[in-house]
Chain A
């Protein structure tokens, strides 16, 4: 529907224009930002702590050092320690996330502008659908390659974030390029044959030819992570002419911080782009 609006807007507002402008914005106190996504890979899991900065500061986020972080699940406590990079904390031991278990984050002694914060959050992910394969189709106008998901069972209420990989190179390298879908939006979606990604052949990073291996990384994500990503995408692609009024991004952190603590499981499926697919023009 957004594209319809765009067409209408193009035709009606032939003279609408955009130009850079200078703004002076009010200053408000900074906040702690938590970015902690735990996965089902057996690794040293990572949690990042940073600080917000003035909107036009135009610098990399500054890490927040000195905090104490633990994650508790099933009476097990995993301790995180700060690495050499300020604000980057890794678990002392390797561990991986399992479905249907609640993971509890506790951060203490996070000090910002002389004030100490204690932060908490929880997250749980459901069992993933059994994703069997992906299939590819060329669009009629040969502008894109569509990727379809095929899953056997349908678990109510799952949320997915999809990232595309072409020949082992991540295509979706920013948060705004993740494709999100959830059953909450349009009732029960069948995941067998769902169009989940569109590789734009006009973009150099996404242009695919015969024999290219297209992979989709399906992140089966917790409700909290989904809410955060959904809100973050809306905020990052905010268009005042079409979007809802701006609002702060969802957070599941209590204690005055923003950001997200979430858990997810990962499935990667691949398919090869063949000449037959290209010739067929559509699936």
Chain B
């Protein structure tokens, strides 16, 4: 009893203490002085109070301090720090504009926003790539690519050479949630995956969460890639662009009303098809081969408390020949309303629409035979997110979201004059995905911070729909149909997300995290490289949601006045309801696709190291990952555990950028990884004069190890000119290594009827490119 009284007394004293000393709130936005773009992750810091806060995704900050006079430092890497003295006697709004640092050579950034972010942030398993860093890397065919840049980070690996598809910590490519201004991008690749849909000229911020994904996000097991578009310059009109080896870009931005609203429009198109006539091949006459992107954005600040944004992305790949055609593309639409209820409460309301579709077809010359095949995905999302600055030590985030998914997996239409093929419509899949979340960043003690979050997600299959019932042999002759609007299946689950940071001192910290993620949709992807024609399908009564539990611990250290940042992490990821496919699975136009699935478990574990160095002359990083990724699916590989296709134990990446002068810089990257697992034949049989393979274990062999060096030289025009330009010369695969993309086997000629040889296919050796970029 005495103890209870003591506790109550202490609490009362605490409350009295807090009410006796008045606390006021300082809030506002931090933005770029030249463009008006809000800065994500900029910092407001009061050194005397050791109190600070960083801006959210919309540049908003809120800081509570007691009445008094303070010197507040507003900072963002690459920008001049602004110190403002303020006499705080009541709540105050203070929006700040920061100037980009004058000496460009000093502003090169590798990762992170705050100088000691690596150590002090609770976040772990997160990498941020500023666009300046991405642009400093050597390009491939003249196009510097976000998705290829993130493949240089620890724990991330590409699925094949040149591909924008990536695997995070052993997860499958469909386990990455890729968002562009909050809208899901279902296929982030162009031109068979060799280029991404992201045009660097319009990208403001790229953040990759490899674990401990924030509670506000969900729906994928392995990662969140959050890509934010620029808003557009609200101070002056500006144009920039580039002319590259295979594509050109042009971006125009400017104010609608100065300092209140702006627009941005950007386009990119390839012109490989223009060279087709030069190839002088009749087969290719009339062929089309190009892709384009169009990014648009509008924003308008209604008043200090209200701002609206509208953004859109429209991209498409077009292939065509005299007998066949194929096209695929994404569209995203995002409308957002930022509202500041009061100095402590920021809200964002978003309405988002995503579309992904593909179509392909062929027709014979006489038009007697022909088919068209179409597939489409549509998402409609509404979400409301709050950032609540309850105390300096406690920042809450909470919100709700709801998404309606409409998947049309395929429709085949006979377009020939002969009705040889019957029209075929694969059953649509309709579903709702809801989520509610609450998370808090809390400073438990001076050196101990935690983020504790909980997301609760619900998934419902909704009619009109058809569900097949399968026997133990995955055969089905029975189906149940549900009328439009009927909810016929529900899954739900809690997804806790916990992160802890113990800061030993300004240079050292240890962090730990645990997160559970659930995924209610997946990709039917049966080819090794993946294709735009892969099919997304949802959870159902036959397909349970995938679940991942991930644990990670890490040690973080900054040295040499934060010039050198070191992070080391170990993780273990346990995944349930992992999907693979039976041998010779039929995935296209198959109403019984679920009968082709084989479901089991998988796991991955690993160690990651990353060291980044930032100095005026030299920036760069080294990342190394050791990891294993294994699957166990009872009906595959005779029930034995096997390597995931993404099991590459050793991955080493080195990137460096040397600023020789203010105008001349050299970029160099070197990548190495263990060869990807493959299934190769061990024995042979021969039937009807044909040699056929007999395979042993699944994914038990490996391609040869992969390594490559790229080089770039960038020459900028003289600074302080109105018209700025730069030439970028890149050489991909500097020493011309013939890395095996794949291994295939071919029989010899008829003189050696029983002889077969192995062949290595390699894609790129010495790919030079030149890009001219300009801005005025």
Show the binding face of A for B, using Cβ within 8 Å: 1, 3-5, 7-9, 11-13, 15-23, 25-28, 30-31, 33, 35, 50, 52-61, 137, 139-141, 173-176, 186-190, 193-195, 230-232, 234-236, 238-250, 258-260, 282-283
Is B757 part of the contact surface with A, judged by Cβ < 8 Å?
A: yes
Decide: A21 and B740 in contact? CB cutoff 8 A: yes
Instruction: Give Cα A175–Cα B287 distance, bound, in whole angstroms.
Output: 33
By a beta-carbon cutoff of 8 Å, the part of chain B in contact with chain A is 191-192, 194, 272-273, 275-276, 282-284, 287, 289, 319, 321, 323-326, 360, 362, 364-366, 368-369, 371, 412, 418-424, 526-529, 531, 533, 581, 583-585, 589, 645, 678-696, 698, 700-701, 738, 740-745, 752-767
The answer to whether A249 and B692 have CB atoms under 8 Å apart is yes
| A-side contacts of B321, CB under 8 Å | 3-4, 7
* A245 close to B762 (CB less than 8 A): no
Nearest residue (CB) in A for B685 is A33
List the 5 closest A-B pairs by CB distance, nearest first.
A247-B583, A240-B742, A187-B422, A175-B690, A21-B760
Residues of B within 8 A of A28 (CB): 682-683, 694, 696
Contacting pair A186 B684 (CB below 8 A): no
Alpha-carbon distance A2/B291, docked complex (angstroms)? 19
- Report B-chain residues with C-beta under 8 Å of the C-beta of A59: 754
Contact indicator B681/A16 (Cβ below 8 Å): no
B761→A18 contact, CB < 8 A: yes
Contacts of A137 in B (CB 8 A): 366
State the main secondary structure of chain A at its contact with B.
loop
Q: Is the CB of B740 within 8 A of A244?
A: no
CB distance from A34 to the nearest CB of B (A): 10
Residues of the B chain whose Cβ atoms lie less than 8 Å from the Cβ of A13: 763-764
A residues near B757, Cβ cutoff 8 Å: 20
A223 to chain B, nearest CB (A): 13
Number of A-B contacts (CB under 8 A): 235
Contact (Cβ within 8 A) B692 A25? no
Whether B420 lies near A189 (C-beta < 8 A) is yes
C-alpha spacing A262/B409, complex, angstroms:
34
Chain A residues with Cβ under 8 A from B765's Cβ? 15, 17
List residues of chain A with CB within 8 A of the CB of B194. 12
Bound CA span A11–B692, Å: 31
Chain A to chain B contacts (Cβ below 8 Å), 24 pairs: A1-B326, A1-B533, A3-B324, A7-B289, A11-B275, A13-B764, A16-B762, A18-B762, A20-B760, A28-B682, A28-B683, A28-B694, A35-B688, A52-B684, A54-B682, A54-B683, A58-B755, A174-B688, A186-B589, A187-B422, A236-B692, A240-B744, A245-B645, A246-B680
CB distance A26 to B758 under 8 Å?
no
B191 near A282 (CB under 8 angstroms)? Answer: no
| Cross-chain contact of A15 among B287, B371, B764 (Cβ < 8 A) | B764
Our pick among A57, A240, A245, A260 for the contact of B684 (Cβ within 8 Å) is: A57
Q: Do the beta carbons of B680 and A243 come within 8 Å of each other?
A: no
Whole-angstrom CA separation of A152 from B188 in the bound complex: 48
Contact of A12 among B272, B283, B412, B753 (CB under 8 A): B272
Q: How distant is the Cα of A7 from the Cα of B275 in the complex, in angstroms?
A: 13
Contact A234 B692 (CB under 8 A): no
Q: How far apart sit A5 and B326, CA to CA, in the bound complex (Å)?
A: 10
Shortest distance between the CB of A8 and any CB in chain B (Å):
6
Asked if A282 and B693 make an inter-chain contact with CB atoms under 8 angstroms apart, the answer reads: no
Measured between beta carbons, the chain A residues less than 8 angstroms from B683 are 28, 30-31, 52-55
Q: Are B690 and A23 in contact (CB under 8 A)?
A: no
Point out the residues of chain B lying under 8 angstroms from A50, CB to CB: 685-686
